[in-house]
Structures are given as structure tokens and as C-alpha cells.
A = this chain, B = another copy of it.
Amino acid sequence: MSLPETVRLSPTPEDYAYTFGGRAPLVTVQPGTVVELTTEDCFGGKVRGTGDLPSQVCVFPYLNPVTGPIAVAGAEPGDVLAVHFAEITPAREYGVSSTFPHFGALTATHTTAMLHAPLEERVWVYELDAKAGVCRFRARNSGFTVDLPLDPMHGTVGVAPAAGEVLASITPGAHGGNLDTPEMRAGTTAYFRVNVEGGLLAIGDGHARQGEGEVCGTAVEAAMRTTVIVDLVKGGGPAWPRLENDDFLISTGSARPLEDAFRISQHDLVGWTGDLLGLDQLDAYQLVSQAGLAPAANVCDTNYTMVAKLPKTLLGRARAYDGLHDRLRRTAEAYLRHR
């Protein structure tokens, strides 16, 4: 096995994108390329302490910067752009979280419009200890502290949308984007349908960890150093982003209301399962109904996201995308070992 080509991508502040679509690629890579990249946190790195209120230190719409876009040579509409996360490491020794005026699941928002004044805007700073694998929560209004498992991931991963649309990086959808699912961790392969030449992958919004649903609207936001392998499958692009890890097939759906996000993800998983196992639609529906998992990803963004998971133990010898995940997983391990 020869190691893949490697590209490094460390954007300057001017390089960051705040949309999917509408931007020329920063770099074009061949399928199979390893990309070592850095990402800034969703606040652009401007929230560094509990006194840095996001609504004061950040300037709309310069929130949630993404690194990219990365064009993949040969990617055409309808193809699958695959991105395998080999490694995601916090770039600083802290992460931050906050409430934000009229953003989150348990507050009135600009669309769930109400007459309430915003909740208090409050910032929490977490110490990240990569060696110990923990991030430390400190209550702001009491002495309580507790260590949570470090579980680094990217909230925002996607490609340029279809139909000439340009979408803010805070929006999740059929193009991916701000899915905010904890499943987007190292060891996972994500599959996106290519909508424009080159696909135009971008990645950002690292989280040291997040709960399912991201109920307060932000995770433990952290700048990241991330290693991915970018690959391409001709044809067969899925209607909605899919993920795969060693244990699960994972479909995503992003929409409102939340039951539509659920429906999309389950509908996709039923189709995917049926295709892999040669089941008709109702038999696949039945199998997913009894064997599937359905955690919330985010219930705070401009679309909500649910994921639908099926244990790969049910698949027998069937392999999604011809075993691409397994190959990328092995390549990633080899790369990291020899780096």
C-alpha cells in the first residue's frame, strides 16, 4: 500500500467561507487525497473568555466559518463525494459554549417568534485535556464542575448546493452543511451528492463534544486540526447526506418540523437498506422499524437534523459503496501510523 498524496490547508482569516456555494475552490485535489486542514470555531475564535459575549464580539453574518471549498477533480453532478475523517484534534486547550439571544431549542427564536425578551447570554469555557480525553464543565453560578468525555467532531461538513443556491454555513440540508451530529467524528465516512463540478467540500464548526439535539444552540466549540481523506464515486449520489462508521449505516434528514427531518432520514435508510439487502420497500421498512436507532442531531439550526442508524451486523456480506469505508479506514490508519 502506498500512502496517498497529502495536501495541507490552513486558511487565513480572509480565506474563510461563510456559505456553501458561491465560492471558488481554495484547492483542487485528486480522489484519494489526504487533506490536513485547520478549522476555526463557530465564533471565529473571538470568544475566549466568559466576558466575550458572542452578540458583542461577533459580527453577523461572519459566524461559523468553514475551511474550503475543496474541489475534487472529476466530480460531476450526481456523483458521490466521500470524506473520511481520520483524525480530529482540538487546536487549543479550551473550547467555549454560550447561549445566544433568540437561538436554541428552549428559547423563542426569529422564526419561532414570540414576545419574550431573550434569555441571558452566558459563556462557558471548557478546559480540554486531549491526553486525558476529557473536557471540563464549570458551572457559572456555582462551584460545580464535572469532566465530560472528549469526543471531537465537526458540526459543519458539506458541498455546494444544487440549483445554483448559496446557503449560509449555519444551514443544514441536502447538501450537508451544519448537520451538527455527534456522529461526524473520526472514524466516520460521510457521503454527499455532488451538485456542481468539483463538488466543493467545506468543513468547519469543530466541537470538542456535543449532546444530541444541541439544545442550547452551541456545542463545546473548538478550533480543530483535522485530517480527512477525500474520495469520489462516480454516479449514485444519495439524495441526502449519508454517514458510515465501523458499526452503523447512518442516513440524515434536515428539515422542519422535526418529524420531517425524521421522515427524510428514515426514508433514506429504508431505501439504502433495501438496496443493500435486496429487500422490497415494505420489507426494508419493517426491518428498519425494528432494528434502527433515531437520535436527534440538532434541534436548533435553521433546519433541524435527525439521523437514522442501522447496525451493520444486519448486512451480512453486503457493503455500502463497495466497501469504500473499510478501504478509507485502513488507508487512514496507515497514514496516521506513518505520518
Contact = CB atoms under 8 A, between A and B. Distances in A.
A240 to B, nearest CB: 9
Contacts of A239: 110
Task: State the majority secondary structure of interface residues on A.
Answer: loop
Contacts of A289: 97, 210-211, 213-219
Contacts of A279: 139, 141-142, 144
Given A163-B61, A165-B167, A263 B114 contact: yes
Q: Range of interface residues on chain A?
A: 35 or more
A335 interface: no
A132 interface: no
A211 B270 contact: no
A339 interface: no
A254 to B, nearest CB: 9
A294 B295 contact: yes
A1 interface: no
A206 to B, nearest CB: 14
A215 B292 contact: yes
B146 A314 contact: yes
A317 interface: no
Given A110-B239, A219-B289, 16 more contacts: A99-B285, A108-B116, A111-B264, A112-B260, A115-B267, A115-B281, A116-B117, A122-B286, A140-B283, A148-B290, A164-B166, A164-B168, A215-B288, A219-B290, A257-B259, A295-B295
Interface of A: 18-19, 21-22, 60-61, 97, 99, 105-108, 110-117, 119-120, 122, 124, 135, 137, 139-142, 144, 146, 148, 162-168, 209-220, 239, 253, 255-260, 262-264, 266-268, 270, 277-283, 285-296, 299, 304, 306, 308, 314, 316
